[in-house]
Structure 1
Amino acid sequence: MNKLIYLSLLGILLSKSFSLYIRDNDKCVPTYENSKLTLSSDCDEGYYLVSDGKAITSSTLNTCQDGKSCNLYFCQTKESKSIECQEAKSTNGYILFELKKNLVLKCSDGICNVLSYMGYFINGGYDKQVNTVIMCNIMNKECEYYLNEKIQNDCAYSKVGGVVRIEDKLYFCSSTNNKDSVEISADSKENYKKINIDVGSYDPFADQVLTNSRTYLVKVGNKAMVIVPEGTTEYEEHINKASGSDQNSSTKIFTTFSILINSILTLIVSFYLLF
């Protein structure tokens, strides 16, 4: 009797262990065969990658990093409720990578590589009209959409880390003052800027309220603003050369111009009084 109970308990334990094993492996597994990409039952709609006749998985991400590119596929649910995948050759810009939520893809005509930066990116995916901005924070190990409904028209109504739309341009708010904002929608050559987040403000990159102010070096252009990691060669090379925020730079130019005009007027008045 005791032996029977023991065997029954052992059977239940093995059954549960097997079920747990199945659940642990019940993850998205893309496969590529006969020029066709297919997904396992628990995969979601979204973008996936293929390289050299093989689907990219979590263990082969390095295939599409460090300057190496992969082919982009978009997978969506059809009327049959099955997910079908097609090559997305016309996709350009930054998109969320469905397989790894903490990564973003940079694509040109459907040829993409995997990025792992903290920052803000203009969405170039199928849903770009609904979700304009992608926000990545590797501290939280995730990338997500910055919802359009959260986009304000002034940093005063937003928060540090918020996105505002000013004259059809999108800016990152490093404070509640527009002059400290940095444009993230500029489709221009990349350049470097410094942003300062004041003490007591919420730091979206450190995911905490700061007890000391913090300065970040950011690379801006090509419709993105990314954080340059401290301690890297890139950081050391540009931190002392970088300018301030976009609006702040404009303010400084205007201030310098105003001082120059005032100086000229003072000279004219002085000259007039002499004669």
Structure 2
Amino acid sequence: MPSFFIAVKRVSYCISKSIRRMIIFAPHNMLSDPPFGKLDLISCRNVMIYFQPVLQRSLFAIFHSALKNGGYLFLGKSETANEYSDAFNPACSAEKIYIHNSAGKADNLATPMFNVPSFQPVQPRVVRMQDMASPDFEMETVYTRFLENFMPASLVLNASNNVIHFFGNYMDYVSIAPGKASFNLFHIISKDLSLAASTALSRSRAEHAAVTYTDILVDTSAGRRLIDLSVHPIVLPGKGDSGLTAMLFTDSSRPAAEEEGVREKYDIRTVFTRTLRT
């Protein structure tokens, strides 16, 4: 239990962050939106009982097209797939667990029709010499160099503090909340890092230099740990400041001599005072 749930005021439980981070929450119409393909498992318990036979057949047709051969279908106690035994073989009748047979005959299961948007074919991009001088190509080069040099968790921000690129294992430091999507840094960054990130960004942009705060205590899925937060202006070769900024999160173990720019131990009082002044 402790690995999966967190007690809330001793009267209820909340699923742990490590589990929630592996789940995508999104609205989905199971009858009209296309499902994922080659699924290992579909759990649809106590849903069929609310549908008329026509809708039930549509759902079984969707399950037949979505499950991989040998995949499992879980139904509710009052539901059954016996009418489609060629496609769904009972694995545990008591628990209503079925194994999918993709080669099974399903003459009474019409092929489902989904609301799929039309797409234009994409031609492979040919890189010409003149393209190598374009801003898009230069940004691709910057990203490549960035990845090669900084593999830890990191973000690329534009001038409005919106994240335009994620790198590495960043999920301990930012999280996307359910609802309307926002990639503004200060809507998604950990509260433990918000003040340090704001101050480091302001200093880096004002001084046109890298700024690093060390030994920041952060709550992560693996427990509390000390990290360093670094902010680096991204400079395009021959063109100067690009308006983009890189933010890196690393464990507090790298010697100060390896970093250029401003580097100081994180102290919340000092940082808060600096924020008030700016």
In the superposition, the TM-score normalised over structure 1's length comes to: 0.33
In the superposition, the TM-score normalised over structure 2's length comes to: 0.33
Query: Higher RCO, 1 or 2 (CA under 8 Å, sep at least 6)?
Result: 2
